[in-house]
Structures are given as C-alpha cells and as structure tokens.
Structure 1
Amino acid sequence: MPPIPDARRRALLKAMPAAALAAAVPAIVRAQAWPTRPITLIVPFTAGGATDVQMRALCLAASKTLGQPIVIQNQPGVSGTLGPAAMARSAARDGYTLALITPALFRLPHLQPVSYDALKDFTYIIGLTSYVYGISVPAGSPWKRFGDFIEYARANPGKLNVAAVGTGSLGQITVRRLEQQAGIRLNFIPFKGGADALSALLGGHVDVMIEAGWGAMAEAGKVRLLAVAEPQRLKRWQAVPTLRELGYDIIVQSEIGIAGPRALEPAVVATLHDAFRQATSDPGYVRALEAESMPNRYMNTADYQHYAASQFASDKRLVAELGIRLD
C-alpha cells in the first residue's frame, strides 16, 4: 500500500468521527509497517526437488521487495496436503505463515476425510505455474520410444514399477488412465516428493516415472523423456510427442500457487501478491522454471480464488467418473 501524503492524511483524520478514527489508525499503521519479521513458506515436498528449488528462488527475490526473509519449511506428506492443512488449522491469520498449494488440496476431500475445507480455510494469494507431467525412464533403459514401454508392459502385466508422487495424486490418476486406455497393468509406487521419486528412478528401484520434476535430469542426459501429458509438444523438447499424439486422451495441467490461512487482511494479501508477482520476473526463478520446462503462468488473487473453486468442483466430477479410490 503506498504511503498517504501528510496533507491528505491530516485532512482524512480530521474529517473522521472519533470511533472511525480509532479503528482506522491501527489499520493504516499495520498496512504500512507489515511485514516486521520473517515469513515462513511451507513447501509440501522434500528438499532438493524441482519445486523446492523454484520456491527458494522465488522467495529470495520476494524477500528483497518485502524487506524480510522468507524461510522455506519443507513438510511433505499426504500427497502434498499435510503442510497446507496444518497451516490452515493452526497458523495465525497475520500473513507470516503461508503454504504452497497444489491441486491435490482440491482432490483429496473427495477421496477421504480431511481436516480442512479447501474453499473456506485458505486465502488464495497468487497463482504461479503448473507442473509438466512426463513419462520418463533412466538413460540406460532399453525403451527408446513410448511404444517400446507400452509393448513391454502389455507382455508383462503388473511387472513394471511406476513412480509418482502420492496416493490419489495426479500422477496416480495418470497411471490409472494410461492403464485403462492402453490395456496394461502397472505397479504404482507412491513417493512423498518428486526428489524421492526421481532418486528411485535413477537408482533403478523403479522402471518408469510418470510425474513432473524430470527436466534437469533429462537435460543432463540422465533420464530419457518418452512422452509428455501436455496439449502441445514442449518448446524445449520438440522431439518428444504428447500422449494425445500417441493416441491417448490424457492431458495433465497441475496449477500451483501460494495461500495463507483464511481471513487474511486485504492489505496483507495485496502486499504479498505484489511482492511475489514482482519476483516471478526474477532471472533466478525464471531459470528454475525453464529447467523443468514449466510455464510462468501467473494468476492474480481473484483469478486464483476462482481457479480454486472451479478445480474443487472439477475434481469432484473426475473422482466420481473414474471411480478413483484410496486403496
């Protein structure tokens, strides 16, 4: 909030009734002074993964605008909802504790009892980007094309171990949809975060990863990207086909953003939004996104709030249509 010129402030205060003056002055002071101490951002995945790297770059840039450090707290679990749910349940409504939000927050309530209300317990601040889901294998894998993987899976039902993040996640949904459409049976292995899934892939503990977070390792030549679950081929990976091109009606778009607990003051929300919005142009953050071929897909506060509501409704329909359960 920009400072109010002295002459205007004096005229405003002189014209106010005493009761209104008493209420307004603290609000003006709070808006101008905030923040006065470090802010915590809960990242609901393990340290070292693509999301963690991106958020550290974003927070470093935003902290320069806010004048206070933003401390990353990694809190993985429950398909990326454990940390945000804890924030919604126990964090003070002062803007000093925030959480990174993934679409699992909107889907999980339709799969199991949860401790939060996705539409009432959060103040949605800003939309940032979306994960790019790909089907990747180790560089030494015998499968050079996506068709090779499918052919082997058909000949060996249930023998291929496939990694993704979390039970009930978009990764698992993609695995199940691919099984249905390709007529194959895979052994789904859930992990707490993308870094864990990627480590398992590189270590030979799983055969395939159907997940985001493959970009840096693909660039380094350590994993081979067989296909992407995007509407179009990626600019950086033009030789890699989309699942739709290959005959599978599967597109995955997984928006992520930042939220606080419910009922944050509008002035605090605006301050946070503007700082993070400016930070999305920071070269370090842009490079971190580009390493994973992820778009810089900004949504303002109102648009992100609308997205949350529409995604919640969409996931309710999807879970019912596919008969997805947490076994």
Structure 2
Amino acid sequence: MPVPVLRPSRRALFGLSATLAAPAIGRAAAFPERPVRLIIPWAPGGSTDSQMRVMAEIAGKHLGQPVIIENKPGARGTFAAAMLHGQVKPDGYVIGQIHQGVLSHPFMTKSATWDAAVDFDYILGITGYLSGLVVRAEAPWPDWKSLMDHMRANPGQVSIGTSGVGGASHLVMAQLMGFERATMLHVPYRGVAETTVALLSGQVDAVADSSGWAPHVEAGRMRLLAIWANTRAKRFPDVPTIKELGHDVGGIAPYGLAAPKGTDPAVLATLHDAFKAALFDPQHLAVLERYDMPVLYMTGEELRAWNAARIPVERELIRRLGISFE
C-alpha cells in the first residue's frame, strides 16, 4: 500500500515562513548605522581637540561610519559629561571625553550632578595631559624660582590663565600657591587654545595648562618654567618637574571616552575596539608624541576603577581649597 504524500496547507507554509523569519526580525540592528558624535568639551585648536580629531577619523574607518567631532567648550570642560548624564539616549551614537575635571565638578557646586564612578559607561582610557607653566619668551622670569620670588613680593599682581575654575591646572596652581606662600590673579578660559592666545597677546602674564603651548615653546615664543608630570618631558629635558622643585603634586592624569549609562555592552565593545585600534595607529601615536602625551590605555572598567579611586582625593582637595561656584 503506497504511503500517502502529505502536502502542507498554505496557512502552514505561511506559519513556517514566519517562524523562520522571526529571529531576523527580533535581532538587534547592527551598530553603527549612522555617524557617531564625539563631544569634546574644549575649544577647537587645543591639544585635546587635535588628538581627538585624528583618533576619531581613524576610529570611523574601523566603525564603517564617520565619527563627527562636536566642540562644546565652557563650564570647566564638563559639557560632554552633562550631555551624557541624561541628555542623550544610551545608544552609543553620542559619546564624550571624561577627564579629571569631571570628577571634581560635583564637589564645587550645590546643584545635583553626577557621580563619575557610576553614572557613565566607560569605553576606554586613552592618554593624559602633560601640563606646565609657561610665560612669554621676553618675560623677566627665567625660571620657576624667579617667578615665585616676584609673586611673593607682588601679591596678586601676576595673572595666570588656566582652562577654567576648578580644572586640573587651576587646582595644581592653587596648591602650589599655598606651598610657595604666593598669590596669583587667576584668569579662567575655555581651553588651552584660548589660554595660548591670551598669553601671546599679553592678556595674561603666564599660563598653566596642558601642552598646547608646546609648539610655541619650541618656536621660541614661550618659555616653559616647570611641568607637572611623573618625569621630565622628552621634548623639554632641561625643564624640571614640580616634584623636582619640592612639591609632590600634579602628575599625568588619564582621560578617556564614555557613553551614557545603560548603553548596550555590545555597542560599548564595538566602540572600544575601534578606538583602541585608533589609539595605537601610527598616525595617532605621532600626534601624542607631538604634545608629549603618553599612551595610557585602559579598558572601560579599568578607567572607571581609576576614576572611582581618584574621586575621594578630588573631594578632599576641593574641600581644603574652598573652591565653590555657589
């Protein structure tokens, strides 16, 4: 007796097709499908802006979508953190730079802000700033000691520009003024691009900031008196560190990239891999060398842990210096 052939009905075939298609319909869309915005909380033209632009261009090639730079200067370099903290979706399409000033910001204002240890999803650590104190080449102070002697004899008469109240360089200088028993006239700006113009144009007597001043020092337009780093800078081997001058402050603090809290771990991994590849690309390494910025690679979790450990130090420093905006 022949075995009957069973032919499925149209309804059954439709159901089978729907079942087979279901995984594809439910699968998350590939990331990224459009450009990624990278928020730089500093004015164009500074060391961070230059470094990030090269890194973003390279990372975009690995992502298959462009990484578009958006400069948001002001507020002591905290606009990127503010945007990531509740202003944009946690989808990976808006990321930003998180630096040491973001850690200290909540302790200088009464307004509710973020806890940098838990309120961002970190992507990776990248590098850190070489910072120092520079004067114009024609300034009457050949070294750190001569400037400090002058400032002690003329309290509040020497104007020093930084990238904002409560920023890393301002905090270092505030500590150093206490150690040296000197008084400065602090003039805050929105980034090293602005402090550089201010010094060259004579608006301020000195600048304490990250290494956007390096090309001007090499060109003979500025004189570098001291740096706050762990060791002397390779490009400026004759310039002492603050630690050599007897003050155990400063050092290179890492910064990196973060996304809003709640970003898909797979998206974070994609961003991490693209920016890590860009970090170690020869073209990007050449930019870091130009500004004496070391490679300080960390995974997102390692950067979060470093920030978490640093936050109590920043809190105590702000309390001791009495810096407040309100």
Question: Does TM, scored on the shorter chain, surpass 0.5?
Answer: yes
Report the counterpart of residue 254 of structure 2 in structure 1: 255
Q: Is the Cα–Cα contact under 8 Å of residues 98 and 258 in structure 2 kept in the other structure?
A: yes
Look up the match of 1:130: 128
Q: 1:89 aligns with which of 61, 83, 86?
A: 86
CA distance in structure 1 between the partners assigned to 2:112 and 2:223 by the alignment: 37
CA distance in 2, matches of 1:220, 1:300: 37
2:96 corresponds to 1:99: yes
Give the deviation of 1:99 after TM superposition.
0.6
Q: Are the equivalent residues in 2 in contact too, given 1:175–1:188 (CA < 8 A)?
A: no
After superposing the two structures, state which structure 1 stretch, 55-64 or 217-226, moved more.
Answer: 217-226
Where do 1:6-17 residues align within 5 Å? none
1:191 partner amino acid: Y
Aligned position for 1:50: 47
- Given residue 32 of structure 2, which amino acid in structure 1 is its aligned partner? P
Kindly report which structure 2 residues correspond to 1:18-97, keeping only aligned pairs within 5 A, or say none.
29-30=28-29, 33-97=30-94
Q: Which moved more, 1:280-289 or 1:185-194?
A: 280-289
Residue matched to 1:15: none
Identity in percent: 36
Is residue 235 of structure 1 aligned with residue 234 of structure 2? yes
Shift of 1:322: 3.6
Offset from partner CA, 1:182-239 (integer Å, 9 cap, x none) = 1111100011111001110111110111111222222222211111111221222110
1:271 CA displacement: 0.4
36-45 or 254-263: which moved more? Answer: 254-263
Q: Who is 1:144 aligned against?
A: 142
Structure 1 counterpart of 2:87, one-letter code: S
**CA distance, structure 1, for counterparts of residue 233 and residue 150 of structure 2:** 26
Q: SS state of the match for residue 121, structure 2? A: strand
1:130–1:294 contact (8 Å) kept in structure 2: yes
From the superposition, tell whether residues 58 and 125 of structure 1 become closer, same or farther in structure 2 (CA, over 3 Å): same
Aligned residue for 2:199? 201
Q: Residues 183 and 284 from structure 1, CA distance in 2 versus in 1: closer, same or farther, beyond 3 angstroms?
A: same
1:292 maps to a residue whose letter is Y
Q: Give the secondary structure class of the aligned counterpart of 2:32.
A: coil
Confirm whether residue 217 of structure 1 aligns to residue 212 of structure 2.
no
Q: Which moved more, 1:256-265 or 1:222-231?
A: 222-231
The 1:152/1:302 distance shift into structure 2, 3 A limit, reads: same
Moved more, 225-234 or 184-193: 225-234
> Which residue pairs with 2:243 in the alignment?
244
Contact 2:103 2:307 in 1 (8 A): yes
TM-score when scaled to structure 1? 0.88
Q: Which amino acid aligns with 2:58?
A: A
Question: How far off its partner does 1:154 sit?
Answer: 1.5
AA aligned to 2:237 is Q
What are structure 2's unaligned runs of at least 5 residues?
A: 1-18
Provide closer, same or farther for how the CA distance between residues 114 and 168 of structure 1 changes in structure 2, counting only shifts above 3 A. Answer: farther
Distance in 2, matches of 1:142 and 1:88, equals: 46
1:185 corresponds to which of 163, 183, 186: 183
Q: Secondary structure of the equivalent of 1:239?
A: coil
Amino acid at match of 1:307: W
| 1:6-48 alpha-carbon deviations (Å, 9 max, x no partner) | xxxxxxxxxxxxx9x96x7667543xx2111100000000011
Mean alpha-carbon deviation: is it higher for 68-77 or for 219-228? 219-228
How many angstroms does 1:286 deviate by?
1.4
Question: Contact 1:76–1:83 at 8 Å: present in 2 too?
Answer: no
Specify the code of the residue in structure 1 equivalent to 2:138: G
Runs of 4+ in 1 over 4 A off after TM superposition: 24-29
Please tell me whether the aligned partners of residues 117 and 305 of structure 2 are also in contact (alpha carbons under 8 angstroms): no
Letter in 2 for 1:166: G
Query: How many Å separate the matches in 2 of 1:219 and 1:265?
Result: 45
Cα distance in 2 for residues equivalent to 1:265 and 1:239: 48
Amino acid at match of 1:231: N
**Deviation of the 1:295 alpha carbon:** 0.5
Q: Give the secondary structure class of the aligned counterpart of 2:178.
A: helix
Partner of 2:42, secondary structure, is: coil
Q: 1:252 Cα shift? A: 3.4
